[in-house]
Chain A
Amino acid sequence: MIPRKSKPLAAGCHRAFPAIPGAGGSAGPTIALAGNPNAGKSTLFNRLVGGRQHVGNWPGKTVERAEGRLVVENNSFRVVDLPGTYSLFADTPEEVVARDFLLGGEAAVTVVTVDSTNLERHLYLARQTLLLTGRVVVALNKMDLADSMGIRIDCEDLAVRLGVPVVPVSAVTGSGIPRLLKVLGEAAEAWGEGVRNGRRGESSGLPSGRADRERMALELHRWSRDTAAAVSAGGARGMRGCSRDAGRDPEWEPSGGESSRTAGDFSARLDRVVTGRWFAFPLMAVLFGAVLWLTMFGAAPLSALLDRGFSAAAALAEAGLRSAGAPGWILGPLVDGMLVGVGKVISVMLPTMAIFFVLIALLEESGLVPRLAFNADRLFQAAGTQGKHCLSCLAGLGCNVPGVMSARIMKEPHRTIAVLTNSLVPCNGRLGVILPLSLVFFGSGGVGVVAGILLISAAAMLLGTLFLSRVVFRGVQPGFIMELPPYRWPNFRTVVLRTLRERVIQVLGRAVTVAAPVTILIWFMANYPAGAGFEGTAAGRLTAFLGPLGTPLGIPGHALTAVLFSLAAKEIVVGALAITGGLAASLRGSGADPASLLAGWSALEAFNFLLFFTLFMPCLLTAMTMFRETRSWRLTALGLALPFGLAYLFTLASYRIGLVLGL
């Protein structure tokens, strides 16, 4: 399958080894992975490097960069996962990153992942890549699927036509991977020499002008179509519904004739329900509800278990320190920081985020998530953004940090708008507080109260979006163009591992590093200056200061202080309420009775507190993420001011209305 036209490859060893754990070592030659979205590139990347990978950003860009290490026969390679793109010609950040990397000539080999069930489309990017670098190996992915569909591809013919090696693989089942590794090893050896000898930065055949690019796109599409037709055979038409070919040379027949034959196909039938006029929105509501329910109730026992573990550890540490004669100003903050800043954040966030984001990733892999964006686009269009905004809101329900980051799937200005409004979507941290508190206070009406607060949050989010799109980011709107891939069964193992690694662990690590120091600070504020009772402490003075500000909102001053403290991590608000209410001297006193926290409050006060707390402001970690994503202090400040302003307005309105109604 290595064509004669390509550079002769050095004769490699004929035994192929699966990847073995790399032992550090030198960086070795670089292998770049390119491919369309939905080509199975990330599955292939995971297959190649396994757990030896780390995820970061491309320098100066908010585009995710994954890098890993691959060892074949004692040769170590650096594998760089380029962003998935349809093309390398346009100027989206993803395409610029991929193009610049390939033009830089850093990669000894570039693997283009091609979906063999949709050769025509995917060869387009392969051909473009070949314009930037000749050092390409094509991985013909999803061969198992192509086989089952009866598609046969003449790999040797394709290799000759492309002038580079072509290896059929299935990243999901792992078949063909040893062969790919062998070809990669040989190619890197042969081509890597050229890189070392200063053959960097091959001249690009990339057209610069817009008209030239369009002409070239047309040419390349024709080539892809002809090549795909020449090298492949079979494949029952209409098998994959949405991915069924629209027909290469159909007759000019009256419309409606051929399309009726696709009716039996699975994706199309499912789409008729999922995106149908009657079922779409009820189904979405059920889906959201189910995800939230599974998260809340699935995580609760795990959270309780972890919480007990941390409490036991803290009790041990406290006893140990006390017997060693440690003074209170060491003991208190240390135990508080450990138990609340680390323990509470981990025990609440870890199970919730793990369950929630695995569920979302499964929906994503199955192909359902793009349909959500398709259904919701019209709604978000009215608010000034687009359907993909709905997806970043969905992520925000889990945690606003990934919610803010997921705005990357959109173009400007929609991306920035989604970044700044994401904190108005109540994250699991807040839902986990308002649900039990309102159940305690409102009894069986609590669920209705939470549903009401969720609806108000949604209204606030859309209002904030409308404000930003109409007032702050006026101008050309980028519109909505999105692929709807065929439905498929997600690969559970890959999804779970990737989600835990890329989302949960990363966010959790950062959450702890932010929350721990702030909880220690809160301990000092609640206990110093010492000896004057709560009123004399820093927290007490803050409460006295904030009191008048809470009056128009119908919220007691000490509750406002607790909301302010919850900027460290929303979960700690219950403990903070215990401190500022004078019921405890440290955050871990929160384990007490939640009922006592709201004792003596009116229903209106309790509702307004919950509402204000829900909308108030992003937590510190989310604010930091907003800054990282926008690289602008002004926009970050706007992202803090906007929810605060909306929280104030909505709570003010709620209090006024409540007073008029005589609540």
Chain B
Amino acid sequence: MLPARRIVPLSTLGPGRRRGRIARIEGGPWVQRLLDLGMVPETWVEFVRRAPLGDPLAYRIRGTCVALRRREASAVFVEVPEE
């Protein structure tokens, strides 16, 4: 049986819950750049770390580590298992 899932902003991933699968990206000037970096639906993303001052955030995606600000990360929605 598949566990229940829900959709949360990427920015809510953290040391506790690190991984999620991208569901969609909401509009903004950054969409194409995120897509080009591999942030496309069905791709797994993993939280790596926060910068020392809390922003930006680093994620591992498609074999590379990408840093983006909380604002951009809030526009990416990921599927995570229900707890």
- A contact residues vs B (CB 8 Å cutoff): 86-87, 89-90, 118, 120-121, 124, 210, 213-214, 217-218, 221-222, 225, 241-248, 250, 252-256, 258-259, 268, 271-272, 275-277, 280-281, 370, 374-375, 377-379, 381, 387, 476, 478-486
- Specify the chain A residue showing the minimal Cβ separation from B28: A479
Which residues of chain A are near B64, meaning CB under 8 Å?
Answer: 118, 121, 242-243, 483-485
Question: 10 closest Cβ contacts across the A-B interface?
Answer: A242-B65, A87-B36, A378-B53, A280-B52, A255-B17, A217-B35, A484-B65, A246-B44, A118-B63, A86-B36
Tell me whether A378 and B63 are in contact (CB under 8 A): no
Chain B interface extent, by class: 35 or more
Within the complex, the shortest CB–CB distance from A247 to chain B, in Å, comes to 5
A121 touches B58 (CB 8 A): no
> Given the complex of chains A and B, what is the CA–CA distance between A276 and B2 in angstroms?
37
Closest to A478 in B: B29
Closest chain-A Cβ to B81's Cβ sits at a distance in Å of 5
Interface contact A480-B56, CB-CB below 8 Å: yes
Cβ-neighbour of A483 out of B17, B18, B65 (below 8 A): B65
B32 touches A213 (CB 8 A): yes
Assembled-state Cα–Cα distance A222/B38 (Å): 10
Task: Name which of A259, A268, A479 has the most chain B CB atoms within 10 A of its CB.
Answer: A479
Neighbouring B residues of A387 by C-beta, 8 Å: 56
| A255 lies within 8 A of B69 (CB) | no
Some 14 contacts from A to B, beta carbons below 8 A apart, are A90-B33, A214-B32, A217-B35, A218-B40, A242-B64, A250-B44, A255-B16, A255-B18, A256-B17, A271-B48, A378-B55, A381-B69, A480-B56, A484-B66
Which of B2, B45, B65, B71 is packed against the most chain A CB atoms within 10 Å?
A: B65
Select from chain B the residue with minimum beta-carbon distance to A95. Answer: B36
- Picked from A90, A268, A485, the residue with its CB within 8 Å of the CB of B32 is A90
Once the chains bind, are A252 and B5 in contact (CB under 8 Å)?
yes
> A86, A370, A484 — which one has the most chain B CB atoms within 10 A of its CB?
A484
Contact with A along B42-83 (1 / 0, CB 8 A): 111110110111111010111111111101100000001101
Q: Which residue of B lies closest to A258 (CB)?
A: B19
B 7-28 to A, binary, CB cutoff 8 A, 1 in contact else 0: 0000000001111000000000
Provide the residues of chain B in CB contact with A483, threshold 8 Å: 37, 64-67
Most chain B beta-carbon contacts within 10 A, residue among A243, A252, A275, A280: A252
Nearest Cβ in chain A — how far from B69, in angstroms?
A: 5
**Which chain B positions have C-beta within 8 A of A374?**
51, 56, 58, 67
* B62 in complex: contacting residue of A245, A280, A377, CB < 8 Å: A245
Given contacts A242-B48, A244-B63, contact A121 B18 (CB under 8 A): no
Whether B51 and A246, one on each chain, are in contact in the complex, defined by CB atoms closer than 8 angstroms, is: no
- A483–B68 Cα distance when bound, in Å, is 9
Set of chain A residues within 8 Å of B41, measured between Cβ atoms: 218
Chain A residue with minimal CB distance to B58?
A484
A482, B66: Cβ atoms closer than 8 Å: yes
Nearest CB in chain B: distance from A92 CB, A: 8
- Tell me the minimal C-beta distance from B29 to chain A in angstroms: 6
The answer to whether A479 touches B32 (Cβ under 8 A) is no
Q: Chain A CB within 10 Å — which of B35, B36, B42, B58 has the most?
A: B36
Which chain B residues border A485 with CB–CB below 8 Å? 64-65
Residue pair B80, A255 in contact (C-beta under 8 Å): yes
| Across-interface contacts of B53 in A (CB, < 8 A) | 375, 377-379
Interface residues of B, Cβ cutoff 8 Å to A: 2-3, 5, 16-19, 29-38, 40-46, 48-49, 51-56, 58, 60-69, 71-72, 80-81, 83
Contact assessment for B81 and A245 in the assembled complex, using a CB-CB cutoff below 8 Å: no
Q: Which of B44, B55, B72, B80 contacts A248 (CB 8 A)?
A: B44
* A284 (CB) vs chain B CBs: closest residue: B52
Contact partners of A381 in chain B: CB under 8 A: 55, 69
Whether A271 lies near B49 (C-beta < 8 A) is yes
> Which A residues touch B69, using CB under 8 A?
377, 381, 479-481
In the assembled complex, the Cα of A197 lies from the Cα of B13 at a distance in Å of 56
Most-contacted residue by chain B among A213, A255, A272, A478 (CB, 10 A): A255
In the complex, the answer to whether A480 meets B54 with C-beta atoms within 8 Å is: no
B36 A217 Cβ-Cβ under 8 A: yes
Closest beta carbon of chain B to A236's beta carbon, Å = 13
Complex interface: chain B residues within 8 A of A259 (CB) = 18-19, 46
A171 vs B4: C-alpha distance in the bound complex, in angstroms? Answer: 48
Q: Which single member of B16, B29, B63 contacts A243 (CB below 8 Å)?
A: B63
Q: How far is the CA of A250 from the CA of B21 in the complex (A)?
A: 10
Q: Is the CB of A246 within 8 A of B52?
A: no
* Inter-chain contact A479/B68, CB cutoff 8 Å: yes
Residues of B within 8 A of A370 (CB): 67
Q: In the complex, A225 Cα to B54 Cα: how many Å?
A: 32
Could you say which of B51, B56, B67, B81 contacts A254, with CB atoms under 8 Å apart?
Answer: B81
User: In whole Å, how far is B22's beta carbon from the nearest beta carbon of chain A?
Assistant: 10
Q: Are B55 and A244 in contact (CB under 8 A)?
A: no
Contact A214 B33 (CB under 8 A): no
| Residue in B32, B44, B81 whose Cβ sees the most chain A Cβ within 10 Å | B32
Contact B36 A242 (CB under 8 A): no
Residues of chain A within 8 A of B52, CB atoms compared: 275-277, 280-281, 375
- Provide the bound-state CA to CA distance between A275 and B52, in Å: 6
Give A387 to B38 CA distance when docked, in angstroms.
Answer: 22
Check A481 against B68 for contact (C-beta < 8 Å): yes
Residue on B nearest A260 in the bound complex, by CB: B18
The interface centre, meaning the residue of A90, A221, A481 with most chain B CB atoms within 10 A of its CB, is A481
Question: Contacts A255-B17, A480-B69: A246 and B3 contacting too (C-beta < 8 A)?
Answer: no
| Contact A480/B67 with A250-B44, A252-B5, A255-B80 known, Cβ cut-off 8 Å | yes
Query: In whole angstroms, how far apart are the Cα atoms of A193 and B55 in the complex?
Result: 53
A100 to chain B, nearest CB (A): 17
User: In whole Å, how far is A374's beta carbon from the nearest beta carbon of chain B?
Assistant: 5
* Contacting pair B80 A479 (CB below 8 A): no
Contacts of B29 in A (CB 8 A): 476, 478-479
Q: Is the CB of B34 within 8 A of A481?
A: yes
In angstroms, how far is the closest chain B Cβ from the Cβ of A96?
13
Across the interface, which residues of B come within 8 angstroms of A245, CB to CB?
Answer: 60, 62-63
Supposing A218-B41, A275-B52 touch, asked if A479 and B36 sit within 8 A by C-beta, the answer is no
Which B residues are in CB contact (< 8 Å) with A90? Answer: 32-33, 36
Q: What is the CA–CA distance of A225 and B44 in the complex, to the nearest angstrom?
A: 12
Q: Nearest Cβ in chain B — how far from A141, in angstroms?
A: 15
Nearest chain A CB to B20 CB, angstrom units: 8
Assembly CA distance A378 to B55 (angstroms): 6
